[in-house]
Amino acid sequence: QTKYDWDLLAARSIWAFGPDATGPNILVDDTLPSEVDKALLGSVKDSIVQGFQWGTREGPLCDELIRNVKFKILDAVVAQEPLHRGGGQIIPTARRVVYSAFLMGARDSGCTHPRLPSVHHQSFYPGHRLFWL
């Protein structure tokens, strides 16, 4: 807590680092249990993390690594039917959300931290709505 200036709740909501397990990017679940079905979100966590890893490994412009970006999941609506929340739908969706959030952050560059672009991006895909900051 003291060394990195993160509160305990924020540290526990870290889902992944990317593009590898120890990479310079971070994916954080910042959703509220009163607004998001945590059980459904948890059921697609691995697929979201894979899409995040893929998106940060092969960036949107020249397949370059994305570096030093914090991605927050602010809201997610996941389909109730298992057919619509398989890896084939979630992984590419998460990758496209990473790309969009990164590009919007680079464009807007309303930085709240010197090295971490801040952007609110909303993406709609069949049966899914993901919000990232």
Q: What is the pLDDT of residues 55-102, one digit of tens each?
A: 999 989 888 998 888 898 988 888 888 888 889 989 999 999 999 888
What is the C-alpha to C-alpha distance for residues 73 and 133, in angstroms, rounded to an integer? 7
28, 14 contact by CB (below 8 A):
yes
pLDDT in tens, 20-63: 888 899 999 999 999 999 999 999 999 999 999 999 999 898 88
Which token pair is 96? 């496209």
Nearest Cα to Cα of residue 48 among 4, 3, 1, 95 = 95
> Which domain CATH number covers 68?
3.30.230.10
* Residue 65, in any domain of the structure: yes
Q: Indicate the SS3 state at residue 44.
A: coil
The reply to whether 47 falls in a domain is yes
The C-alpha atoms of residue 33 and residue 115 are separated, in whole angstroms, by: 29
Q: Which two three-digit tokens encode residue 4?
A: 């990195």
Q: What is the pLDDT of residues 96-130, one digit of tens each?
A: 999 988 888 766 555 455 555 444 545 444 444 55
Is 13 among the domain residues? Answer: no
From CA 86, how far away is CA 17, in angstroms rounded?
22
Predicted pLDDT at 99: 92
Does residue 10 form part of some domain?
no
Would 71 be classed as within a structural domain? Answer: yes
In a domain, 44, yes or no: yes
Residue 63 neighbours by CB under 8 Å, 6+ apart? none
Q: Which domain holds residue 110?
A: 25-132
- Predicted confidence at residue 128, as pLDDT, reads 47
Tally of domains in the chain: 1
In a domain, 11, yes or no: no
Beta-bridge partners for 129:
77, 124
Can you give the pTM of this predicted structure?
0.78
In a domain, 15, yes or no: no
